[in-house]
């Protein structure tokens, strides 16, 4: 990035003999040469292990917040560093002018609904570039009041807690610079330092061809996760420079960000680097959230061919292939990688089981990890699936109003989503989600498809992860977000969508210039205080009795809603028992082959409730499974 402010000529001469990266002349906003200046005289001047930087000040909620944008933590992953793990930033000279939002990492925009605010708010709002590894930091200043507010009591003797945001986007998109992630209100209301990071997405962050190289640095996969780890390390090393406590770092993220959080808590690479984690609508064990090395290699080889670099050469001359891939322009890579998208939430990039960062299957890792005391706050939104069925089945649904989904279309969608499952598994899913009293109610069918997607891809993986984590003796606190915001621009049928909680987490309803009602402002303040309290103490409330831990035997969640408070059981207990306990027992059971059974099954999924109750899918196949496996 060309963020350096014009330098004095004497400084330019001094830098002339230095290397490009040590001089950092293309990496930062150089405001001038440091010559014995005491940073203590300027509250916006901070000295870090990488060098001096100056931010700017904002006043929100009658409180001053110091903001630092575009703080580099790694060398630009360009040229020979493309498809490699990140390298730490070398110290810069002069003063970094940390007042400009950084580049977004290279990605494609979503433009299904051009100009629509609900979609545009998630698209990159700064230049996209491979030079994108930067941090943003918000530091609340002390309140000079006679009676300090409740949140001020949280400050520990070693400094403020630090909450580090990891954005979502299916590991294919996302940026920390979005307006909805602006954290000044969250920092002020929560009395904690907030930081956010950029990390590489798509093939730039997850290309996996490592099995073709003896050199583990070539396309090792998970580069985006290594970016996150390096950012966390930088923040830990420099926590005290901003008034933070390096032992009170909590990472929080949504969707792919939540998945990343769960991985950092269990990976041998990052375990112990942070204290706690908050997982919003995403865990590593979700079907979209990880892939095997074999699958990742298959996807990578397709991309190599699509970029004209000839994957057949990987055996005899892998270095030549990588040289070719590094010569491909970023736009071509960014577009061609989508050729391997394989259906709803079937993203071609994801954390890969590489034997290092993710050594084995995520659930096995949770079961076997050597945890220190770690707490997690985890949860979901009420209607996680609606956003995704709209985008992936846009011919069936409309953004602004509910659609009447005929039975045959319902069956078609279910069979498309689960095309890689066996017939008996698909039959079981259809049976589980059919409303047999209203089989031809198209609006019920639409809701059923949304529930299938929300349960399978988000809610039930979250409850499974929470149960396993609690089984290991760790404290787990579960929330369920049910607030349909009064300003929501999406159709009413879409309900409380994936991502709807984010604006509350970052405190946007507290901005009096925005149109929210008083109850929504109160909900935002409550959520921020839950996050802050959790970051400081490991509990989201002052008294544990106010929010009971989640366990397998007592799966209680705390309701986040502007109109109500309290607890619920689950969430989605019956549906998640189906996905987490029952359906896995059908794997490996062969599909029926007799023609009579095939005919009966074909009729069962299109029949009415009375006809299906005696169908072979129930009487011949499912009931023996119940008996054999003693499923209760």
Residues noted as catalytic: 255, 384, 498
**Distance (Å, rounded) from C-alpha 182 to C-alpha 189?**
13
Residue 243, CB-side half-sphere exposure with 13 Å CA sphere:
20
Q: Give Cα 245 to chain centroid, integer Å.
A: 24
Half-sphere exposure of 234 (CA within 13 A, CB side): 31
HEC secondary structure over 34-56: CCCCCHHHCCCEEEECCEEEECE
Q: How far is CA 288 from the centre of its chain?
A: 11
Largest CA distance in the chain: 89
Rg over alpha carbons for the chain, rounded to the nearest Å, is: 26
* In contact, 162 and 236? CB cutoff 8 Å: no
Rounded Cα gap, residues 545 and 548, in angstroms: 6
Query: Of the candidates 497, 575, 505, which has an alpha carbon nearest to the alpha carbon of residue 182?
Result: 505
Cis check for the bond before 571: say yes or no (omega within 30 of 0): yes
**Total residues found in the chain within this entry:** 632
Ramachandran area for residue 486 (φ above 0: left; ψ -120 to 50: alpha; else beta): alpha
d(CA 631, CA 616): 19
| 154 three-class SS | helix
Please tell me whether residue 416 adopts helix, strand or coil conformation.
helix
CA distance 502 to 3: 30
Per DSSP, the residues of 548-604 read PPP-SSS-EEEEE-SS---EEE-SSHHHHHIIIIIGGGGTTPPPP-SHHHHHHHHHH
């Amino acid at each position: 990035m060309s963020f350096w402010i014009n330098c004095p000529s004497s400084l330019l001469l001094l830098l002339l003999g230095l290397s490009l990266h040590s001089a950092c002349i293309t990496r930062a906003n150089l405001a001038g040469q440091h010559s014995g200046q005491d940073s203590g005289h300027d509250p916006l001047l901070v000295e870090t292990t990488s060098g001096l930087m100056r931010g700017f000040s904002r006043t929100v909620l009658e409180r001053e917040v110091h903001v630092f944008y575009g703080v580099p933590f790694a060398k630009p992953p360009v040229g020979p560093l493309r498809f490699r793990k990140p390298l730490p930033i070398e110290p810069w000279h002069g003063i970094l002018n940390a007042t400009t939002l950084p580049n977004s990492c290279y990605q494609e925009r979503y433009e299904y609904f051009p100009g629509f605010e609900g979609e545009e708010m998630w698209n990159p709002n700064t230049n996209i570039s491979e030079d994108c590894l930067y941090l943003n930091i918000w530091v609340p200043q002390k309140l000079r009041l006679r009676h300090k507010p409740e949140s001020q009591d949280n400050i520990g003797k070693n400094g403020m807690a630090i909450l580090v945001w990891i954005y979502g986007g299916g590991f294919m998109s996302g940026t920390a610079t979005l307006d909805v992630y602006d954290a000044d209100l969250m920092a002020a209301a929560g009395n904690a330092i907030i930081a956010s990071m950029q990390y590489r997405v798509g093939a730039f962050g997850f290309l996996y061809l490592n099995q073709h190289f003896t050199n583990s640095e070539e396309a090792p996969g998970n580069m985006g996760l290594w970016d996150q780890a390096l950012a966390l390390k930088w923040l830990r090393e420099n926590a005290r420079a901003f008034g933070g406590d390096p032992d009170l770092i909590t990472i929080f993220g949504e969707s792919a960000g939540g998945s990343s959080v769960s991985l950092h808590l269990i990976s041998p690479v990052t375990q112990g680097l942070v204290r706690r984690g908050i997982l919003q609508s995403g865990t590593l064990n979700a079907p979209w959230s990880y892939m095997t090395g074999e699958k990742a290699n298959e996807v990578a080889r397709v991309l190599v061919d699509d970029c004209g670099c000839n994957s057949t050469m990987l055996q005899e001359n892998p270095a030549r292939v990588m040289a070719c891939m590094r010569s491909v322009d970023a736009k071509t890579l960014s577009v061609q990688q989508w050729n391997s998208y394989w259906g709803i939430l079937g993203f071609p990039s994801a954390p890969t089981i590489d034997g290092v960062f993710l050594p084995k299957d995520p659930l096995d890792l949770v079961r076997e990890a050597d945890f220190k005391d770690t707490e997690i706050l985890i949860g979901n939104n009420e209607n996680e699936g609606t956003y995704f069925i709209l985008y992936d089945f846009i011919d069936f649904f409309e953004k602004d109003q509910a659609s009447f989904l005929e039975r045959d279309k319902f069956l078609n969608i279910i069979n498309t989503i689960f095309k890689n499952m066996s017939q008996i598994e698909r039959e079981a899913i259809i049976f589980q989600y059919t409303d047999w009293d209203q089989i031809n109610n198209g609006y019920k069918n639409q809701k059923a498809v949304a529930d299938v997607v929300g349960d399978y891809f988000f809610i039930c993986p979250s409850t499974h992860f929470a149960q396993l984590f609690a089984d290991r003796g760790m404290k787990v606190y579960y929330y369920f977000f049910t607030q349909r915001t009064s300003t929501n621009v999406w159709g009413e049928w879409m309900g409380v969508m994936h991502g709807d909680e984010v604006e509350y987490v970052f405190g946007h309803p507290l901005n009096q210039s925005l149109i929210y009602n008083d109850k929504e402002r109160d909900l935002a303040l409550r959520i921020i205080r839950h996050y802050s309290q959790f970051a400081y103490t490991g509990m989201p409330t002052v008294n544990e009795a106010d929010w009971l831990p989640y366990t397998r035997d007592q799966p209680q969640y705390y309701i986040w809603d502007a109109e109500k408070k309290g607890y619920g059981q689950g969430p989605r207990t019956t549906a998640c028992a189906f996905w987490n306990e029952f359906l896995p027992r059908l794997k490996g059971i062969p599909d029926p082959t007799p023609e009579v059974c095939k005919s009966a099954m074909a009729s069962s999924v299109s029949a009415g409730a009375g006809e299906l109750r005696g169908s072979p899918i129930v009487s011949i196949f499912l009931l023996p499974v119940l008996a054999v496996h003693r499923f209760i």
